[in-house]
Amino acid sequence: MNTSLKTTSDTFCSLPWNHTFIGPGGVEKPCCRFLLNKVGPIEELRNAMLKGERHPGCRKCWEEEDAGRKRSLRQIHLQPRGFNEPLIEDLDVDNPKLVWLELSFSNRCNIRCRMCGPFYSTNWYKDWLAVEDYVQPNIPGVKDVAKFIKEHPEPVPYDMSNLDKHIPNIRHIKMTGGEPFIIPEYQEILEKIVENGTADKVSLNYSTNLTVMPKPRLLSLWSKFKKLEFATSFDATGKVMEYQRYPTKWPRVEQVLDRLINLPNAEPGIRGTVTIYNILDIPNVAWYWNDILPDNTWLNFVQASSPEQVSITVLPRWAKDIVAKRLAYSAPTQRIQDNFDQLVNYMYNEDNSHRLSQFIDFTQKLDKARGEDFKKVVPEFAGLW
């Protein structure tokens, strides 16, 4: 860490100095964790931190740190690794510069995963009414969602010229969606950085669903950047993937994955979401990945937090026992096995089986809307109803 940061206060966080998050509706926040209703002038937040105060907008970080269970985002970025290391070295509190961005303003997406919704996917507009009671669109400032969706079938564009003055300083961009490969604004900023001649100093991080083959222009732009990280939603194989992430086609996933892992400056990994639908397929994913990228350790499965009824904690005891048996000693490496063991512990430690009827209702309604059948995709759980 640079010398000036060593003398800052106990409540200091680097993000309000060198980073911004742009979320749905173009709302800007100091980071993804900052409470939206506490956003105010950035100087006010910086001054509070320099004085050693806990700003109320940072409540999530303070709660995590006080609980001591895991490192907060603040702590993660104060002990930087990877792309963030040189950025922290260069951080000057007297002359702050925006050097990294998280772009998350568009819900433009080509698929509609079972644990997603209209807030993150325009494709979900097609059948959210079938499960309206379970999937709240939560579009900021919108009361009549059906009317809004009818009037805005496409996402509202974001004016990227807002970022023009920062282009020469940008060193890292994280892009989520929606599906980032089809969000035009995300390509626009790459064009500007290439035009500025600084692409070789910039790393890119994409969260991608592996169903969109990148177009030649995007591939050409990428070749000029320092590094590409792909956090892939590779969390099931074959028909399970097609079911959880409808209307994904498995052969397309394999094609896109093959294209991405063979890019010279790419570092692909898995950021998978675990639900009742895919939990039994997780070992297949880990072995598939191990076969194609044996040295790649960037693989993490996290439990879906919403909608609550698809969580593996909803399963009754007999079904949890099937999961535990399937995941025991089933990973290709100890590190991945540790991840599996954490999932199993979490599953047993919480009992949300009172939501099972909601899971069944939600699943049946979506199956009907999509012409699918959960019992055929995951026959081991056919006894759930």
HSE-CB for 235 with a 13 A CA cutoff: 27
Q: Is 61 in the site for ligand SF4 (CB under 6 A)?
A: yes
Q: Is 16 in the site for ligand SF4 (CB under 6 A)?
A: yes
* CB contact at 8 A, 373 and 382: no
Choice between 46 and 114, CB closer to ligand SF4:
46
CB of residue 71 vs ligand SF4: minimum separation in angstroms?
A: 11
Choice between 65 and 372, CB closer to ligand SF4:
65
Give the pair of three-digit tokens for residue 50: 């320099």
Q: Is 30 in the site for ligand SF4 (CB under 6 A)?
A: yes
Cα-trace Rg, the chain = 22
CB of residue 2 vs ligand SF4: minimum separation in angstroms?
A: 18
Q: Segment 85-144, which members bind ligand SF4 (CB under 6 A)?
A: none
Choice between 65 and 351, CB closer to ligand SF4:
65
Binding-residue total with ligand SF4 (CB under 6 A):
13
Q: Is 46 in the site for ligand SF4 (CB under 6 A)?
A: no
Q: Is 58 in the site for ligand SF4 (CB under 6 A)?
A: yes
Q: Which of 78, 101, 106 is nearest to 13 (CA)?
A: 78
Stretch that binds ligand SF4, among 72-80, 252-260, 268-276, 294-302 (CB under 6 A): 72-80
CA distance 16 to 385: 50
Stretch that binds ligand SF4, among 25-33, 162-170, 191-199, 222-230 (CB under 6 A): 25-33
Stretch that binds ligand SF4, among 56-64, 126-134, 234-242, 334-342 (CB under 6 A): 56-64
Is residue 228 classed as helix, strand or coil in its secondary structure? Answer: strand
What is the spatial order of strands in the sheet that 203-208 belongs to? 28-29, 19-22, 100-103, 172-175, 203-208, 227-232, 266-274, 299-303
Name 195's Cβ contacts closer than 8 Å, sequence gap at least 6.
Answer: none
* CB contact at 8 A, 290 and 333: yes
Query: Which residues contact ligand SF4 by CB under 6 A?
Result: 13, 15-16, 30-31, 33-34, 58, 60-61, 72-74
